Amino acid sequence: MAIEWLDPLESRVRDAVARLGELNEENRTLRDRIRDLETEVATLSIPPAAPEGDGGGDEEVEALRVRVRELEAGLAAAETERAAAAAAARSWEVERDEVRRRVEALTGRLEGLVGE
């Protein structure tokens, strides 16, 4: 019996499993990065802005504020990447489940033919 169609299917499943592994690792990396950024933001102590006319404009305070904004932007970007990686992983899981369901259905039909 020729089952050449199974080779590309197996290849796709192996590729999907490998990609899921990569996405899971990327997801872990992004979660670690988010945790690090959150920790860094939490440890920054920024004094409240000086009232206008107070001669405020302390360069160090402004530099800290800029750094916090950069860290928040980095945190948002990392969270967006993590969400995209999670969505891609879910997509692969759905496709993998569909492939599994179809292969199991085909296997069941083949077993029915062999049993006749």
Could you tell me the pLDDT band of residue 116, with boundaries at 50, 70 and 90? low
Question: Which of 6-10, 47-51, 82-86, 104-108 has the weakest average pLDDT?
Answer: 47-51
Question: What's this model's pTM, rounded to 2 decimal places?
Answer: 0.44
List b or e across 72-97, with b for residues whose CB sees 16 or more CB atoms inside 10 angstroms.
eebbeebbebbeebbebbeebeeebe
Question: pLDDT tens across 7-38, in order?
Answer: 777 787 788 778 778 887 887 888 888 888 88
